[in-house]
Amino acid sequence: MENIETGQLIKLTVNEQSKEIYVRNSETLLHTLREKLGLMGVKPGCYNGDCGSCTVLIDGIPINACHILSVEAVGYQIMTIEGLKDQTIPEEFIKNWAIQCGYCTPGFILNSYALVQNNPDADDAAIDEWLESNICRCTGYQEIKESVKNILNVKR
């Protein structure tokens, strides 16, 4: 029987830092970020892409880290909540009480950041569409939406 390689050494760019790490070929980016790189802002939730608690930005686009293999992320810029330098959105979330238990907050903040960057003229329908990929178990949706609207109004 042939010896099949089950892993490899890869280089990821995470929060503007190059990380060389050995991963299994089947390892998700969620697992690598949390368990191997210690980035606890990437939260496990449903493990099937429905909740958005593991949202990261890959080249500025929100992606569920449970849906991508670590080996597929090679060559891309990965940003977790720990790497977010613009504090406008987190401050607005705090100001508007858009943080309740906080579990979903990193995913919502990264998703909101991407929305503001990619669609600064977003209307209510666009905001709703962007935010529907994340679930808040505490049902703080109105406060989250108000936070995003306030940020968009400031940027206009």
**Is pLDDT above 60 for 4?**
no
Neighbours of 85 (CB within 10 A): 7
- Work out how many domains the chain is built from and give that number: 2
Say yes or no: 66 and 52 in one domain. Answer: yes
pTM as predicted: 0.92
For residue 2, is it within any domain? Answer: no
Residues of the domain holding 11: 7-82
Distance CA 146, CA 150 (A): 6
My answer on whether 118 and 62 are in the same domain is no
CATH number at residue 55: 3.10.20.30
Give residue-wise pLDDT tens across range 109-139. Answer: 999 999 999 999 999 999 999 999 999 998 8
Is the pLDDT reported for residue 51 higher than 70? yes
DSSP string across 43-100: --SSSSSSS-TTEEEETTEEEEGGGSBGGGGTTSEEE-GGG----HHHHHHHHTT--S
Task: With respect to residue 146, please indicate whether it lies within any of the assigned structural domains.
Answer: yes
Domain termination residue (choose one: 65, 82, 99) = 82
Same domain, 24 and 77: yes
Q: Please tell me whether residues 78 and 89 are part of one structural domain.
A: no
